[in-house]
Structure 1
Amino acid sequence: MADYSESSIYARIEVNRLIDFKNHIFTKYNESEMKSMMESIEDMGVTDPILVRPHNEYKGMFEIISGHNRVEACKRLGKRDIHAVIYEGLKDDSAAELMLIETNIKKRSLNDYVISEKAKILTRRHQLMKILNKRKAQLSEQIHNNLTQGLKDLCDSGKLSIKSAVELSYLSDAEQDVVRSFMLDGNKISYHKANIIRKKMESAEITIDVLNEIFKDKVSKKKPEKTYKISPEIIEKYFHDLEDEGDIQMTVELALDQYFFQSS
């Protein structure tokens, strides 16, 4: 199964924003199985996050890849949201369907299905693997014909993913050389960034300055330091003999050190 980990994020998603996978071929839980799952969720919560991707047609909605029964159980229990892994880069329908099949096979043994359903699952899995293998060959050809040797070497060494290499293969040789130099300086290019670079080339030549602009870190707002005040009652009770603020702080630190030392 393809690795989409570089473009996945963890989040809690409202259950009313989740839509069933359009090509879902698995039989959902019967009422007895659903009741058992609901009891488990009531006791322990949802222990495994569901897998989803942004919906191709409905903005702000997500398509369920794995977790249809967990979502249904949460809806029946009145749960507002559920923990999920969002595969933002999983846009290919065949790849998404294969992920659905693979994850369901791992969670539920093929022996759990009747023969006709098992045959349907394995047949569809074989069809999808053929489709994806053909596309993989096409991507390899795209890389072979259009990627400079410098970026091929980075790809072979594992410093550049296949998906990223395909995006960068659309750049001119000179632009690819710029990207290679940028990477040799210690910069990693994810598929998401490679996709941005490819789109950027349509309106501007890819130079070091352009790459620096794409990769510049967002200036994060410095969080204010947390400060806590000691109430007058506590000061009167424990620090009535101390007037210097530094002495009070040192006493608090020593007391905390002793407390956590004894607790460890």
Structure 2
Amino acid sequence: MADYSESSIYARIEVNRLIDFKNHIFTKYNESEMKSMMESIEDMGVTDPILVRPHNEYEGMFEIISGHNRVQACKRLGKRDIHAVIYEELKDDSAAELMLIETNIKKRNLNDFKISEKAKIVARRYKLMKNLNKRKDQLSDIERSKFNELEKDNPFNIGTRQIFYYVQIDDNLTTGLKDLCDSGKLGVKSAVELSYLSDAEQDVVRSFMLDGNKLSYHKANIIRKKAESVEISIEVLNDIFNDKALKKKPEKTFKISPEIIEKYFPDLEDEGDIQMTVELALDQYFSQSS
């Protein structure tokens, strides 16, 4: 994570002077997780200070960058104040949001999130970096220095292809299909294929899947190609799933041994991420070979 220590101040701040970050994209703790945090704070106090910046609209108030759950736990416990690090020079909203993403990922591994949440986080960081890169000259010296550090960083341990997949899912996949991703009924690569359909067509596919039809990547790819010439409907989907030629052509599958996973993917747990990494490596290998 980028270091802003030269522009920070350590202090205790009253919890009633703290306001949630306006573009907070992370899911807050559920009741069970919150109670566990409250018990920890009662036993040991807040061992890790929250991160804040002066609020740009309300004088005397502070915007939380990291520590939303800790602040909520302290409020519920009746705590008057909390230990905080104040970043007085962190005035750019995009730079502050990048810091929010970094600190949350440091505390909560990306693989702890649902696919739709993961897509939102990855896509948001990508867009923030792109936005800041266009206007480096508008940043303060400290913010510009830290942005240059962030450009070299890869907090998610994923490649360019995976980033593209997640951006595509976040931008174009309907909420209904994102829910199927989160429940494990729709794979990441299949979701990317379906994200090219119109919202209405995606709703048709969702209804078809909820009727008990399993959708493989192979069929999702066929649906995407079919949508280039016809509107996807239940009838079209039935034709695709009942195509005898497709049934006679079994899908090719392969397994990766646990040893290879441990050697090459120690930081990746999601099967979709591993599959995308393998695909990217093969793309690079065959492009170099040719």
Alpha-carbon separation, structure 2, partners of 1:164 and 1:52: 15
Alpha-carbon separation, structure 1, partners of 2:47 and 2:58: 28
Alpha-carbon separation, structure 1, partners of 2:28 and 2:114: 13
- Closer, same or farther: CA 81–105 of 1 in aligned 2, 3 Å: same
The answer to whether 1:116 aligns with 2:145 is no
The code of the aligned residue for 1:5 comes to S
Alpha-carbon deviation of 1:7? 1.4
Output aligned runs, 1:238-253, within 5 Å.
none
- Closer, same or farther: CA 26–129 of 1 in aligned 2, 3 Å: same
Q: Name the counterpart of 1:29.
A: 29
Alpha-carbon separation, structure 2, partners of 1:20 and 1:162: 26
Q: Name the counterpart of 2:89.
A: 89
Please tell me whether Structure 1 or Structure 2 has the larger radius of gyration of its CA atoms: 1
The code of the aligned residue for 2:55 comes to H
Q: Name the counterpart of 1:74.
A: 74
Q: Deviations along 1:214-260, whole A, 9 cap, x unmatched?
A: xxxxxxxxxxxxxxxxxxxxxxxxxxxxxxxxxxxxxxxxxxxxxxx
Q: Name the counterpart of 1:130.
A: 130
User: 5+ unaligned residues in a row in structure 2: which ranges?
Assistant: 146-290
Alpha-carbon separation, structure 2, partners of 1:164 and 1:92: 8
RMSD over aligned CA atoms reads 2.2
- Closer, same or farther: CA 54–118 of 1 in aligned 2, 3 Å: same
Alpha-carbon deviation of 1:164? 10
Alpha-carbon deviation of 1:163? 4.5
Q: Name the counterpart of 2:47.
A: 47
Local SS of the residue matching 1:79: coil
The 8 Å contact of residues 90 and 143 in structure 2, kept in 1 or not, is answered as no
Alpha-carbon deviation of 1:4? 2.6
Alpha-carbon separation, structure 2, partners of 1:165 and 1:117: 28
Output aligned runs, 1:1-264, within 5 Å.
3-136=3-136, 138=137, 162-163=141-142
Alpha-carbon deviation of 1:89? 0.3
Alpha-carbon separation, structure 2, partners of 1:25 and 1:164: 21
Give percent identity, aligned residues only. Answer: 87
Alpha-carbon separation, structure 1, partners of 2:117 and 2:143: 37
Local SS of the residue matching 1:39: helix
The code of the aligned residue for 2:52 comes to V
Alpha-carbon deviation of 1:139? 6.0
Q: Deviations along 1:98-128, whole A, 9 cap, x unmatched?
A: 0000100000001111000100000000001
Q: Deviations along 1:31-61, whole A, 9 cap, x unmatched?
A: 0000000000000000000000000000000
The code of the aligned residue for 2:23 comes to N
Aligned length: 145
Compute the TM-score of the two structures, normalised by the length of structure 1. 0.52
The 8 Å contact of residues 9 and 86 in structure 1, kept in 2 or not, is answered as yes
User: 5+ unaligned residues in a row in structure 1: which ranges?
Assistant: 141-160, 167-264
Alpha-carbon separation, structure 2, partners of 1:131 and 1:96: 13
The 8 Å contact of residues 2 and 95 in structure 1, kept in 2 or not, is answered as no
The 8 Å contact of residues 51 and 84 in structure 1, kept in 2 or not, is answered as yes
